[in-house]
Structure 1
Amino acid sequence: MFVYFLRRLLYTVPIAIGVSVFCFALIHLAPGDPLSAVLPESANPQLVAEVRAAYGFDHSLPEQYLKWLGHVLTGDFGQSTVTRRPVLDEVAPAVVNTFALAAAATLLGMSAGLLLGLVAGFRSGSTLDRAVTTVAVTGVSIPHYWLGMVLVVVFSVNLGLLPAMGMGSQGADTTFSLSADSLRALVLPAIAMAVIPAGIVARTVRSTVAEVRKREFVQTLHAKGLPPFGVFVHIVKNAAPTVLAIAGLQLAQLLGGSILVETVFSWPGTGFLLNTAIFTRDLPVLQGTILVLSMFFVFINLAVDLVQTMFDPRIKRS
């Protein structure tokens, strides 16, 4: 297991380097001059040269990349061109807020998806199976930003039960905590984000469990007189690797794909920060946020690979 862990960890190194190269290139591939958000159009050549030197744009691209990477490894992501604050100070609270939202949506979506998928998988071909499949397909088909607006209209505007924007009375510019205001504000965006993962997980669990139930070893377990709960445990254990892979991908997707939901609810996470950085052309913040989210995605996939081997040791030999 330890050797497999080291091998998988080494595999992530070139991926992480590739991600860093892409994030660095982002600031140069974006349309227009990266300094256009800092300098006025009437800036004289001397001022332009001084600002270029201050931001390190007077060096070659390889030199700029190595210098930028060295700063990133020490936690220095640069400075926002809009707020003049360190990028890390902008990104850190947004990451906490997005992680809290993604964790809540994952817990809700995985719980609902697993329950519906198991029920449908063990009753495959029945009316209940068809009903669960219909619900799952409907959940996958509903745009989460549209569902978010519907939830706001129903529970915030009409019923007045839950806050529609930000983090309740704390406003939008704050960090998530386990206070009553933050938890109440978390409910609607978490539901909006959980519907699609719940549908995907339900369909995956249903098809995986139904396929495992047809294998010969299940018939053998029944023939040997194993109690129904024991057969259930064996079926779930054999279906777990596939389900874990899907669950890990959905968590990573929720961390990086929450921009629309966070914008609808003005939730101060990475999606809301990315949206703001795009419209203000704050490229250092955009660069730092994408880098952090990409690294989360890489390491979540690594964690999923390692957890899968605990359920299916054959993966280590593949």
Structure 2
Amino acid sequence: MLIFAIRRLLQAIPILLGVSLVVFGLVHIVPGNPIDMLMPPEASPEVIAQMKAAFGFDKPLYIQYTLWLWRALHGNFGLSVFNATPVWGQLVEALQNTFVLAILGAALGFSMGIFCGMVSALYHGRWPDKLFSAIATIGVSLPHYWCAIVLVLLCAVLHDWLPAQGMGDDSLPLYDRLQYLVLPVVTLSLIPMGVIGRLVRATVLDILGQDFVGALSAKGLTRWPVIRHIAKNAAPPILALMGLQFGYLLGGSILVETVFNWPGSGNLLNLAIFRRDIPVLQATILVLATFFVLLNLLVDIAQAAIDPRIRR
């Protein structure tokens, strides 16, 4: 098991290096320069040149990439072009807020998806199957941003049940601050719920048709022990998809955080795109991509721990 984990970790290193190269290259493919956007039209060429030198934009791209990667490995992503504050401080604060939404959204979406998928498979062809399959299909089909707008309209505009935007002030009581989480967490949980629910249903139905399930029932095992055996056999593919979905929640919540004005990494990334704040943009994409790769690594190791066949 240890050898498998070390081998997967070594395989992740070139992937992360390739991710950093792609992130750096794609950002610089976009025409224009962030310094040109910040400087007034009457700025002299000497002042513009000084600003480019201060942020390192006057060097060749390969030198910029080498210096940027070396500093990034030491946790130094430079200063924001927009407000001259350290990028790392902005990113850590934004990631903390994003992790709160992602963890709660994943917990709600995964639990509801597993429940809906199991019930649909165990009651295949009956009304629970049709009901929960419809719920899962709706969760997969509805776009995040559309659900966010509808929930804001229903729960905050038409009915003053929940706050529409922000994350509340630290001086508010805990109950009032938790209300700000309800709408974005429910919105983020819909797609994972649908995706996980459909996979759980298909996987459990496939396992129910295998011979060992009938053998367990013939030996006299009751319903719940049989379900535990089914869940153990269904776990590896479901666990892999859960890891991917959690990665999507971390990196794919840009529009949701924008709609709810939630100060997370998605909102920070959105602002960096409009401001052409290259240091913030590069750091945010690189860190989110790194989290995604590491999540896949952890999922592979967890799968190997559950199913020894994967280690071969």
Give the TM bin, normalised by the shorter chain: over 0.9
- Return the letter of the residue paired with 1:311: I
Q: Which residue of 2 aligns with 1:225?
A: 220
Q: CA deviation at 1:231?
A: 1.2
Q: CA deviation at 1:238?
A: 0.3
* Counterparts of 1:294 and 1:139, CA distance in 2: 25
* 3-state SS in 2 of match to 1:168: coil
User: Which residues of structure 2 form unaligned runs of 5+?
Assistant: none
Out of 248, 251, 267, the residue aligned to residue 256 of structure 1 is 251
Q: CA deviation at 1:49?
A: 2.7
* Counterparts of 1:116 and 1:52, CA distance in 2: 55
* 3-state SS in 2 of match to 1:193: helix
CA contact (8 A) 1:169 1:181 kept: no
CA contact (8 A) 2:34 2:81 kept: no
Q: Are 2:307 and 1:306 equivalent residues in the alignment?
A: no
* 3-state SS in 2 of match to 1:149: helix
* Counterparts of 1:163 and 1:34, CA distance in 2: 35
Question: Which stretch shows the higher mean deviation, 162-171 or 69-78?
Answer: 162-171
- Which aligned pairs between 1:157-306 and structure 2 lie closer than 5 A? 157-169=157-169, 179-306=174-301
User: Deviation digits for residues 111-135 of structure 1, max 9, x if unmatched?
Assistant: 1111111101111122221221112
Q: Which residue of 1 aligns with 2:61?
A: 61
* 3-state SS in 1 of match to 2:204: helix
Q: Which residue of 2 aligns with 1:97?
A: 97
Q: Which residue of 2 aligns with 1:132?
A: 132
* Counterparts of 1:19 and 1:183, CA distance in 2: 36
Q: CA deviation at 1:170?
A: 5.2
* Counterparts of 2:288 and 2:309, CA distance in 1: 30
CA contact (8 A) 1:145 1:264 kept: yes
Q: CA deviation at 1:178?
A: 9.7
* Counterparts of 1:181 and 1:224, CA distance in 2: 53
Q: Are 2:121 and 1:121 equivalent residues in the alignment?
A: yes
CA pair 178-141 structure 1, distance change in 2 beyond 3 A: farther
User: Deviation digits for residues 88-137 of structure 1, max 9, x if unmatched?
Assistant: 11111111111110111100101111111110111112222122111211
Q: CA deviation at 1:215?
A: 0.7
Q: Tell me the TM-score normalized by structure 1.
A: 0.93
* 3-state SS in 1 of match to 2:76: coil
Q: CA deviation at 1:161?
A: 2.1
* 3-state SS in 1 of match to 2:295: helix
| Count of aligned residue pairs for this structure pair | 312
Q: CA deviation at 1:284?
A: 1.3
* Counterparts of 1:191 and 1:291, CA distance in 2: 27
Q: Which residue of 2 aligns with 1:174?
A: none
- Return the letter of the residue paired with 2:83: T
- Return the letter of the residue paired with 1:298: V
Q: CA deviation at 1:210?
A: 0.5
Q: CA deviation at 1:61?
A: 2.2
Q: CA deviation at 1:258?
A: 0.4
Q: Which residue of 1 aligns with 2:15?
A: 15
CA contact (8 A) 1:120 1:132 kept: yes
User: Which residues of structure 1 form unaligned runs of 5+?
Assistant: 172-176
Q: Which residue of 2 aligns with 1:70?
A: 70
- Return the letter of the residue paired with 2:141: S
Q: CA deviation at 1:43?
A: 3.0
CA contact (8 A) 1:170 1:181 kept: no
Q: CA RMSD in A?
A: 1.8
User: Deviation digits for residues 262-291 of structure 1, max 9, x if unmatched?
Assistant: 111001111111111111221211111111
